[in-house]
Structure 1
Amino acid sequence: MIYFAYGSNLDPVQWALRCPGSPHVAVGRLDGYRLHFPRHSPVRRCAVASIGAAAGEVVWGALYRMSAQDLEALDAREGHFADRPDESRYLRASVRVARLDAGVVETVTYVANPSPDPGLPSEDYVKHLLDGAIHHGFPEAYVAMLRSVKTMVGA
Structure 2
Amino acid sequence: MALVFQYGSNISSDRLNSPDRLQGDAVPVGIARTMDDFELDFTVWSRSNSCAAADILPGAGRKVWGVLYEIPDYLIKRDTAGGRRSLDAIEGEGTNYRRVHIALEDARGTPIENDVITYVAITRRAGLRTSLEYCHHIISGLQQHDVPSHYIDYVKERIVANNPGLRDEVKQL
1:68 to 73, 89, 114: 73
Q: What is the alpha-carbon distance in structure 2 between the residues aligned to residue 57 and residue 136 of structure 1?
A: 19
Alpha-carbon spacing, 1:68–1:144, altered in 2? closer, same or farther (3 Å): same
Alignment match, 1:77:
90
1:1-53 C-alpha deviation (Å, 9 max, x unpaired): 21000000111210211222221111101131121111111221110001111
Alignment match, 2:45:
40
Give the C-alpha shift of residue 100 in structure 1.
2.2
Q: What is the alpha-carbon distance in structure 2 between the residues aligned to residue 117 and residue 99 of structure 1?
A: 31
Alignment match, 1:84:
none
Alignment match, 1:104:
112
Is 2:4 the partner of 1:3? yes
Q: What is the alpha-carbon distance in structure 1 between the residues aligned to residue 14 and residue 46 of structure 2?
A: 20
TM-score (norm 1): 0.86
Alignment match, 2:28:
24
- Alignment: residue pair count: 149
Task: Tell me the secondary structure at the aligned position of residue 76 of structure 2.
Answer: helix
Contact 1:40 1:117 in 2 (8 A): no
Give the C-alpha shift of residue 55 in structure 1.
3.5
Is 2:99 the partner of 1:92? yes
Alpha-carbon spacing, 1:143–1:116, altered in 2? closer, same or farther (3 Å): closer
Q: What is the alpha-carbon distance in structure 1 between the residues aligned to residue 17 and residue 27 of structure 2?
A: 9
The percent identity for this pair of structures is: 28
Give the C-alpha shift of residue 115 in structure 1.
4.8
For the aligned residue pairs, the C-alpha RMSD in angstroms reads 2.0
Alignment match, 2:83:
none
Contact 2:30 2:68 in 1 (8 A): yes
Give the C-alpha shift of residue 54 in structure 1.
1.9
Give the C-alpha shift of residue 56 in structure 1.
4.9
Task: Tell me the secondary structure at the aligned position of residue 121 of structure 1.
Answer: coil
Alignment match, 2:135:
126
Unaligned runs of 5+ in 2: 78-85
Quick one: which amino acid aligns to residue 139 of structure 2?
L
Quick one: which amino acid aligns to residue 49 of structure 2?
R
Is 2:63 the partner of 1:58? yes
Alignment match, 2:82:
none
Q: What is the alpha-carbon distance in structure 1 between the residues aligned to residue 140 and residue 61 of structure 2?
A: 25
Unaligned runs of 5+ in 1: 82-87
